[in-house]
Amino acid sequence: MTHQNGQATQEARLHAIVQGRVQGVSFRYYAITTAQRLGLVGWVANRWDGSVETVAEGTRQALDEFLSFLHRGSPAAMVESVDAKWHSPSGEFSSFRLRY
Protein backbone atom coordinates (compact mmCIF):
# COMPACT_ATOMS: atom_id res chain seq x y z
CA MET A 1 0.00 0.00 0.00
CA THR A 2 1.90 3.04 -1.19
CA HIS A 3 0.76 6.61 -1.42
CA GLN A 4 1.18 8.34 -4.74
CA ASN A 5 4.38 10.06 -3.63
CA GLY A 6 5.84 6.79 -2.29
CA GLN A 7 5.88 8.00 1.30
CA ALA A 8 4.62 4.76 2.85
CA THR A 9 7.51 2.70 1.50
CA GLN A 10 10.17 5.36 2.04
CA GLU A 11 12.75 4.37 4.67
CA ALA A 12 13.08 6.61 7.73
CA ARG A 13 14.47 6.73 11.26
CA LEU A 14 12.39 7.41 14.36
CA HIS A 15 14.03 8.52 17.61
CA ALA A 16 11.57 8.62 20.51
CA ILE A 17 11.63 9.16 24.26
CA VAL A 18 8.58 7.84 26.10
CA GLN A 19 7.69 9.37 29.48
CA GLY A 20 5.32 7.99 32.10
CA ARG A 21 5.09 4.67 33.93
CA VAL A 22 7.11 2.81 31.30
CA GLN A 23 9.75 0.94 33.30
CA GLY A 24 9.00 -2.32 35.11
CA VAL A 25 5.82 -2.84 33.04
CA SER A 26 7.24 -4.97 30.17
CA PHE A 27 7.31 -1.88 27.92
CA ARG A 28 10.63 -2.81 26.31
CA TYR A 29 9.52 -6.41 25.70
CA TYR A 30 6.37 -5.21 23.92
CA ALA A 31 8.40 -2.63 21.98
CA ILE A 32 10.79 -5.35 20.75
CA THR A 33 8.03 -7.76 19.69
CA THR A 34 6.08 -4.93 18.00
CA ALA A 35 9.16 -3.66 16.15
CA GLN A 36 10.13 -7.16 15.02
CA ARG A 37 6.58 -7.87 13.81
CA LEU A 38 6.71 -4.64 11.78
CA GLY A 39 10.12 -5.51 10.31
CA LEU A 40 11.93 -2.62 12.02
CA VAL A 41 15.56 -2.52 13.16
CA GLY A 42 17.10 -0.52 16.00
CA TRP A 43 17.01 -0.64 19.80
CA VAL A 44 15.07 0.21 22.96
CA ALA A 45 16.52 1.05 26.39
CA ASN A 46 15.55 2.27 29.84
CA ARG A 47 16.95 5.70 30.76
CA TRP A 48 18.16 6.78 34.18
CA ASP A 49 15.26 9.25 34.55
CA GLY A 50 12.57 6.56 34.30
CA SER A 51 11.78 7.10 30.62
CA VAL A 52 12.32 4.68 27.74
CA GLU A 53 14.31 5.64 24.64
CA THR A 54 14.09 3.95 21.26
CA VAL A 55 15.61 4.32 17.81
CA ALA A 56 13.92 2.44 14.97
CA GLU A 57 14.48 2.32 11.23
CA GLY A 58 12.23 0.93 8.51
CA THR A 59 9.43 2.01 6.20
CA ARG A 60 7.52 5.13 7.18
CA GLN A 61 4.30 3.08 7.35
CA ALA A 62 5.82 0.57 9.80
CA LEU A 63 7.33 3.40 11.86
CA ASP A 64 3.95 5.15 12.05
CA GLU A 65 2.46 1.91 13.44
CA PHE A 66 5.35 1.63 15.92
CA LEU A 67 4.80 5.23 17.00
CA SER A 68 1.12 4.42 17.63
CA PHE A 69 2.27 1.54 19.86
CA LEU A 70 4.63 3.90 21.75
CA HIS A 71 1.67 6.18 22.55
CA ARG A 72 -0.31 3.17 23.88
CA GLY A 73 2.50 1.23 25.54
CA SER A 74 2.30 -2.22 27.11
CA PRO A 75 -0.92 -3.19 28.95
CA ALA A 76 0.45 -2.12 32.36
CA ALA A 77 2.14 1.08 31.14
CA MET A 78 0.83 4.62 31.59
CA VAL A 79 2.31 6.69 28.75
CA GLU A 80 2.28 10.42 29.51
CA SER A 81 4.16 11.73 26.48
CA VAL A 82 6.18 10.66 23.46
CA ASP A 83 8.87 12.99 22.13
CA ALA A 84 9.37 11.73 18.57
CA LYS A 85 11.87 13.05 16.03
CA TRP A 86 12.25 11.93 12.42
CA HIS A 87 15.61 11.50 10.68
CA SER A 88 17.14 9.89 7.62
CA PRO A 89 17.98 6.20 8.20
CA SER A 90 21.61 5.34 8.93
CA GLY A 91 21.39 1.68 7.96
CA GLU A 92 23.59 0.79 10.97
CA PHE A 93 21.23 -1.83 12.48
CA SER A 94 20.61 -5.44 11.44
CA SER A 95 17.97 -6.32 14.06
CA PHE A 96 15.82 -4.76 16.81
CA ARG A 97 17.25 -5.39 20.24
CA LEU A 98 17.40 -4.39 23.87
CA ARG A 99 20.16 -1.95 24.71
CA TYR A 100 21.58 -1.59 28.22
The catalytic site residues sit at 28, 46
Q: What does the radius of gyration of the chain's CA atoms come to, in whole angstroms?
A: 13
What is the chain's length? Answer: 100
Nearest 5°: phi and psi at 7?
-60, -35
User: Do residues 44 and 28 make contact, with C-beta atoms less than 8 angstroms apart?
Assistant: yes
List 44's β-bridge partners, or say none.
Answer: 54, 98
Rounded alpha-carbon distances, angstroms, from residue 100 to 4, 7, 38, 64: 40, 33, 22, 25
